[in-house]
């Protein structure tokens, strides 16, 4: 159906987007790669020299790297676990008939629209602050010692904040998927004597598999790059307790002005993200076909 002529037109229409994305990928990436082999500090300009793999050696043997890698995995894994388990349960609840469905939906989806700096600061100051925070008030009310969340459990606190932001997203997608489930199938299973657990495991979970995949994919893209929440709450501390890879590389590049070291870190982050991406793309490729 498509003629030679329309094919040529299509190619012209698509080329600005392709060229821009290609440039956006290749130019900065090759610069990062090049810088990563240089000794290059913004504070001592003009002293750049080729150092081979020294930057990588320093970056990869730095204990901070291992801490940041662990924290990144814990952060992504923790948030995914909370949002998916919580999202499935919440979606099952909201899928039941009840009064005020529309309003509850609006309440539940709201945190997704809150910008990261606002949610992090509100949680940090008004809830988790050990003196004036609301949690401290409840602890005192119950006769307990207020807990200093961000000082004693910084990563866990950040996981909670980020999970609060993403729970609505998971819930909304899973709820949409549940609502598209054929209710006759469920009723038939119920008549055949399948209890709720059986219906859940054998009908709902397989039906939800695809949407859970999508939730994992999209959240992972965003969660690997969590930055603002750490910047405004803990600055990665105490020590490296809440530093993820993104924050570590940012600190090395723009706080210590170590362009070489930061670039080596950037290359490592890109490689790690690509490993994750290969798995995810394969998953989405398979699932989107179905």
Site for other proteins in 58-87 (CB under 8 A): none
**CA angle at residue 94 from 88 to 95, to 5 degrees?**
85
Q: Is 230 in the site for other proteins (CB under 8 A)?
A: no
Among positions 116, 149, 162, 240, the unique one binding other proteins when judged by CB under 8 A: 116
Among 76, 79, 94, 204, binds other proteins (CB under 8 A): 94
Q: For residues 111 and 153, which CB has a smaller minimum distance to other proteins in the complex?
A: 111
143 contributes a contact to other proteins by CB under 8 A? no
Q: Which is nearer to other proteins, 103 or 197 (CB)?
A: 103
C-beta closer to other proteins: residue 165 or 241: 165
Q: What span, in angstroms and rounded, lies between the C-alpha atoms of 115 and 242? A: 20
- For other proteins, the binding residues in 19-58 under the rule CB under 8 A are 20-21, 24-25, 27-29, 31-32, 35
Binding residues for other proteins, rule CB under 8 A, total 105
Task: Work out the angle between the directed axes of helices 101-109 and 154-179 (0-180°, nearest 10).
Answer: 140
Distance CA 63, CA 70 (A): 11
The rounded distance, in Å, linking the Cα atoms of 169 and 177 is: 12
Stretch that binds other proteins, among 3-11, 51-59, 182-190, 198-206 (CB under 8 A): 3-11
Work out the number of other CB atoms within 10 angstroms of the CB of residue 150.
24
SS3 state at 132: coil
Q: Are 217 and 283 in contact (CB under 8 A)?
A: yes
Task: Pull the structure tokens for residue 219.
Answer: 């959240």
Is residue 122 involved in binding other proteins (CB under 8 A)?
yes
Give the residue with the Cβ less far from other proteins, 104 or 205. Answer: 104
Which token pair is 249? 């590389």
Nearest-approach distance from CB 61 to other proteins, in angstroms: 20
């Amino acid at each position: 159906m498509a003629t030679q002529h329309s094919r040529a037109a299509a190619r012209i229409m698509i080329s600005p987007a392709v060229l821009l994305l290609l440039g956006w990928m290749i130019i900065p990436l090759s610069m990062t790669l090049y810088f990563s082999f240089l000794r290059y500090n913004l504070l001592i300009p003009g002293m750049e020299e080729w150092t081979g793999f020294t930057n990588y050696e320093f970056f990869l043997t730095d204990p901070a790297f291992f801490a940041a890698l662990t924290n990144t995995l814990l952060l992504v894994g923790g948030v995914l676990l909370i949002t998916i388990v919580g999202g499935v349960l919440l979606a099952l609840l909201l899928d039941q008939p009840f009064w005020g469905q529309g309003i509850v939906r609006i309440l539940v989806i709201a945190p997704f629209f809150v910008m990261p700096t606002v949610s992090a600061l509100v949680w940090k100051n008004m809830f988790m602050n050990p003196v004036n925070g609301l949690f401290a008030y409840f602890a005192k009310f119950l006769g307990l010692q207020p807990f200093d969340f961000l000082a004693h459990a910084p990563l866990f606190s950040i996981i909670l904040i980020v999970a609060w932001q993403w729970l609505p997203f998971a819930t909304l997608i899973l709820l949409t998927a549940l609502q598209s489930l054929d209710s006759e199938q469920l009723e038939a299973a119920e008549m055949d004597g399948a209890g709720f657990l059986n219906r859940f495991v054998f009908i709902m979970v397989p039906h939800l598999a695809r949407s859970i995949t999508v939730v994992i994919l999209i959240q992972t893209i965003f969660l690997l790059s969590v930055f603002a929440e750490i910047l405004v709450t803990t600055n990665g501390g105490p020590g490296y307790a809440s530093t993820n890879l993104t924050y570590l590389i940012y600190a090395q590049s723009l706080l210590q002005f170590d362009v070489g070291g930061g670039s080596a870190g950037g290359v490592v982050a890109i490689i790690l993200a690509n490993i994750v991406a290969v798995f995810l793309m394969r998953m989405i490729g398979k699932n989107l076909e179905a």
